[in-house]
Amino acid sequence: MRIEIGDFIIKTYGPNALFDITKEILSFLNKAKAIRGLLLISVMGSTGSLVLIPPEQVDPIKNNELWALVPVNAGWKHEGNAYAHLRSTVLGTSITVPIRDGKPVLGRHRIYFIENQCYMARERHFYLVYIGE
């Protein structure tokens, strides 16, 4: 049993923008010489989200199907970006993925970061923990 830790940063913009981070994940697993185990992926902050979805679902999410669940202007008591915090809470800021033969077990899915903030470009910091062989 061994543990490998890594991180990376991407530049994002919003709102409702999805960023495929699968390539960064594969690079980390390759450097870690992963074989079989689990990978925890976490993003710092409370206004972004991580999801596993097939590429054909990116456009429906971008086109507001998901955002109707937590609208921007709904009279939230927390002014400003309450919607971003709530979306992040609903979707989550971390995921765990099984690793087999050095690759994440994803099927047709890819790993996406969703930017819930709408007003600026940001640097988003991701942390990775691989536990396995």
Q: The tokens 């990775």 sit on which residue?
A: 128
For residues 40 and 43, what is the distance between their CA atoms, to the nearest angstrom?
10
For residues 32 and 4, what is the distance between their CA atoms, to the nearest angstrom?
6
Span 73-128, pLDDT tens digits: 767 677 677 777 888 888 899 999 999 999 999 999 999 999 887 667 889 999 99
What is the average pLDDT score of the chain? 89
Beta strands in 17-108 (DSSP E): 17-20, 36-43, 48-53, 94-100, 103-104
- CATH T-level topology, domain 2-132: Jelly Rolls (2.60.120)
For residues 38 and 28, what is the distance between their CA atoms, to the nearest angstrom?
13
Q: Parallel, antiparallel, or unpaired for β 36-43 and 122-132?
A: antiparallel
For residues 123 and 60, what is the distance between their CA atoms, to the nearest angstrom?
25
Q: Enumerate the domain spans of the chain.
A: 2-132
C-beta separation of 125 from 71 below 8 A? no
pTM above 0.85, yes or no: yes
